[in-house]
Amino acid sequence: MQHSVDFEYDTAAVINIGGRERQEDALATDFLAGSGFGFAVLADGMGGHVGGDIASRIVVTEVFTELKLRVGDSKQLEAELQGALLQAAAGANACLSEYIELNPALQGMGATLLAPVLFSNRLYWISIGDSPLYLYRSGQLSRLNADHSMAAEIDALVAKGRLSPNDAAEHPDRHCVTSVLSGTPVPRVDCRQVPVDLAEGDILLAASDGLLTLSEMEIASVLATERNQSSARIGTALMHQLETMGQPEQDNISICVIKPFESAAKTTDAELALRKTKLSHSQQQRGRRIITLLASVKHLPNSTPGSPEKGTSL
């Protein structure tokens, strides 16, 4: 049997501890060359020394595993994706609740969740928290997912003329997250029902909010310069730009870069099975398979450690 795969993906994942003492980001991705399907799962933990790193790993492990169990039939998965994503998020939240019950000292830990899922050029996602999902297209950078933080509400006040841009930028509550997985009811979930159609030349970024040390204009500038380069090169360039900011308290940074590209190849079932057995974690080719749970303990050079749609609950 032959499958017409219209799109494949050049992907890369980068992660760095920044200027923090602990790595509280976790990131896992799975893209199989020739399959026209892939996904990433990212979590940004919170709770500091009381478990942010544990929370992010629980969330990524649970959601990643749930999706992996369903990838045998991508057509069926796409048809059932909204329910699958919500079930995965609810399962991760339940695991956090159980873990906290067994370890009361970890009360207050939690994590964001961002999981983009691609079928050919069709993009879906589930998002809880403030981890951004960006699309760069034709020189324009757009945030696709909801921002579940006070920043979105504060910026709305600026748009209404009730707060100055300077006051908004320096507002002490700007980075407070308004929805998160923490073992308690989740007030807001952004689960995309209708796909966003991607095109060759697009660049997709799934990231933790550590990327937001850069302004959207600065992110777009890096992407404009590197747009014809590989995803790995783009990820490195973004990390380098963050390094130049020289922020001693730079937050953890994790970024998944995805570049869809058209493929005219037709792949048989036997060929797909052969690819699955031959592909290794170390391959550095376009559309390679990446199955990684990343938790780097490196610092940026020169830094020192110091829908349901939006508004729906799980």
Question: Model confidence over 243-266: pLDDT tens digits?
Answer: 999 999 999 999 999 999 998 655
Band (pLDDT 50/70/90 cuts) for residue 285 is very low
Q: Is 172 part of a structural domain of the chain?
A: yes
Flag whether pLDDT at 13 surpasses 70: yes
Q: pLDDT at position 278, please?
A: 45
Q: Is 200 part of a structural domain of the chain?
A: yes
Q: Is 13 part of a structural domain of the chain?
A: yes
Which of 129-138, 156-165, 189-198, 252-261 is least confident?
A: 156-165
Q: pLDDT at position 107, please?
A: 93
Flag whether pLDDT at 163 surpasses 90: no
Q: pLDDT at position 313, please?
A: 54
Whole-number mean pLDDT of the chain?
86
Band (pLDDT 50/70/90 cuts) for residue 2 is very low
Flag whether pLDDT at 305 surpasses 70: no
Q: Is 310 part of a structural domain of the chain?
A: no
Which of 89-103, 148-162, 200-214 is least confident?
A: 148-162
Average pLDDT over residues 156-171: 85
- Two tokens at 19? 């200027």
Q: Is 205 part of a structural domain of the chain?
A: yes
Q: Is 16 part of a structural domain of the chain?
A: yes
Flag whether pLDDT at 170 surpasses 90: no
Band (pLDDT 50/70/90 cuts) for residue 123 is very high
Report percent pLDDT > 90 for the chain.
67
| 6 close to 262: Cβ distance less than 8 angstroms | yes
Average pLDDT over residues 219-246: 97
Flag whether pLDDT at 179 surpasses 60: yes
Flag whether pLDDT at 84 surpasses 80: yes
DSSP alpha helix (H) spans, the chain:
52-68, 74-79, 81-102, 150-159, 165-169, 216-226, 231-245, 269-278
Flag whether pLDDT at 32 surpasses 60: yes
- pTM above the 0.85 mark? no
Please report, for residues 210, 230, 302, the alpha-carbon distance to residue 244 in angstroms, rounded to integers and kept in the order given. 14, 21, 9
User: Which position has the higher pLDDT, 286 or 64?
Assistant: 64
Boundaries of domain holding 265: 2-278
As a whole number of angstroms, the distance between CA 63 and CA 127 comes to: 12
Flag whether pLDDT at 268 surpasses 80: no
Give the CATH number, domain containing residue 185: 3.60.40.10
As a whole number of angstroms, the distance between CA 152 and CA 249 comes to: 23
Q: Is 291 part of a structural domain of the chain?
A: no
Give the chain's domain count: 1
Q: Is 208 part of a structural domain of the chain?
A: yes
CB neighbours of residue 278 within 10 Å: 10
Average pLDDT over residues 164-183: 87
pLDDT digits (tens, 9 = 90+) for 46-67: 986 679 999 999 999 999 999 9
